[in-house]
Amino acid sequence: MPRPIEALIHRDGLAHNLARARALARGARVWAVVKANAYGHGIERVFEPLRAADGFALLDLAEAQRVRTLGWRGPVLLLEGCFEPRDLELCSRLNLWHTVHRDAQIDWLAGHKTEQPHRVFLKLNSGMNRLGFAPQAFRAAWARLNALPQVDEVSLMTHFSDADGAGGVQAQLAVFERAADGLAGERTLANSAALLRHAQAAAADWVRPGIMVYGGAPDHPQHTAAHWQLQPTMTLRAQLIGVQQLTRGDSVGYGNTFVADSALRIGVVACGYADGYPRHASSGAPVLVDGVRTRTVGRVSMDMITVDLTPVPQAGPGSEVTLWGRGPRDSMLPIDEVAQAAGTVSYELMCALAPRVPTRVA
């Protein structure tokens, strides 16, 4: 008898959200960002529903190889480029486009023997201060790349640090426009938040939505996924495997952090932090039991969570528990709300779905 927990990956949600991104992109081509194993969904599971994308943007060669193995012949972009010179061999063999964000990557290209010239995305550091050339070094890098016989096309790229927040994109956009002024090459700027919130940043040749494709609102709680007309793509659900009747003064779970102030019926759920449920969501995080909203009580443990059954007196062992995503009878628990209760973002919850959770495409 398998433990009663599973994750569902929703084909229709992925396809819907990708279509939303395409509608907002207004003619720009759309990279489906599938790094981090498609934000925890599994590259192999999302591939068919996201096949309508113009390309797949991802992190490393292993992920690129998986996308090629699935039969994808279209564009594949390595978002951080090569990590060492020999990575270029696989870029040549698999026809991967790659980001160039520092001089060493240009040196490696200059020393690379290939009959197949590469397409590269030259990254500008417009203010995120993570990867990319400084504005004053951007033009020289562009010229160097364009002079290499190993390179046949140079595109221009930057990444926003606060497209989801109050800072917006304006300042970085101005830096990009100045640095890229007069340079030939396609442009790619927007992540999900920029695409949803800043139309001027979406106006480019390519957009790079990630979290919105997976039904997360990049600017939650300011806006919900429903506000952006996004659908959930991952459901984590389990069942109750036990019930306890507490009386006033009883505690529950490690550390006795929750103490009942009156009689309370609680359910024990077959899901814990070893399944990817965030331990910081202890006490008060939203959860659905039989589709009815209630809350966690006490600490999250490795294999179990305890929940308040007051709003669902009929619930007992075997009752369905929705940790996030789609519940029974059209109920829904946005992953963003659970993330908020845990002091994190939906990205982290999706990525943390544990390999031990049986997962299937629905």
Q: Coil, strand or helix: which one is 138?
A: helix
Residue 115 CB neighbour total at 10 angstroms: 6
Picking from 48, 104, 92, 98, the residue whose alpha carbon sits closest to that of residue 71 is: 48
User: Binding marks (x or -) toward ligand PLP, 28..67, rule CB under 6 A?
Assistant: -----x----------------------------------
Q: How far is the CB of 218 from ligand PLP (least distance, A)?
A: 5
Q: Does 253 bind ligand PLP (CB under 6 A)?
A: no
Binding of ligand PLP at residue 210 (CB under 6 A)?
A: yes
Residue 53 is encoded by which pair of tokens?
């994308």
State which of residues 79, 82, 321, 350 lies at the interface with ligand PLP (CB under 6 A).
Answer: 79
Angle 306-290-297 from CA coordinates, rounded to 5°: 20
Catalytic residue chosen out of the listed positions 39, 123, 254, 277: 254
Task: Please tell me whether residue 211 binds ligand PLP under the rule CB under 6 A.
Answer: yes
b (16+ CB within 10 A) / e for 175-211: bbeebbeeeebbbbbbbbbbbbbbeebbbbebbbbbb
Candidate list 20, 101, 144, 159; residue touching ligand PLP; CB under 6 A = 159
Minimum gap (Å) between residue 251 Cβ and ligand PLP: 39
- Cα dihedral 286/287/293/297 (nearest 10): -70
Q: Which stretch binds ligand PLP (CB under 6 A): 205-213, 237-245, 280-288, 305-313?
A: 205-213
Please give the full DSSP string across 141-179, using - where no structure is assigned. HHHHHHH-TTEEEEEEE---SSTTSTT-SHHHHHHHHHH
**Total residues binding ligand PLP (CB under 6 A):** 11
Sequence-ordered strand ranges (E) for 22-144: 29-33, 55-58, 76-78, 97-100, 118-123
Q: Does 209 bind ligand PLP (CB under 6 A)?
A: yes
Catalytic-residue membership of 123: no
User: To the nearest whole angstrom, how small is the minimum distance from the Cβ of residue 349 to ligand PLP?
Assistant: 13
By CB under 6 A, residue 267 contacts ligand PLP: no
Number of residues written out for the chain: 362
Answer yes or no whether residue 132 interacts with ligand PLP by CB under 6 A: no
Q: Is 254 a catalytic residue?
A: yes
Active site residues: 35, 254
Footprint of ligand PLP on this chain (CB under 6 A)? 33, 79, 159, 191-193, 208-211, 218
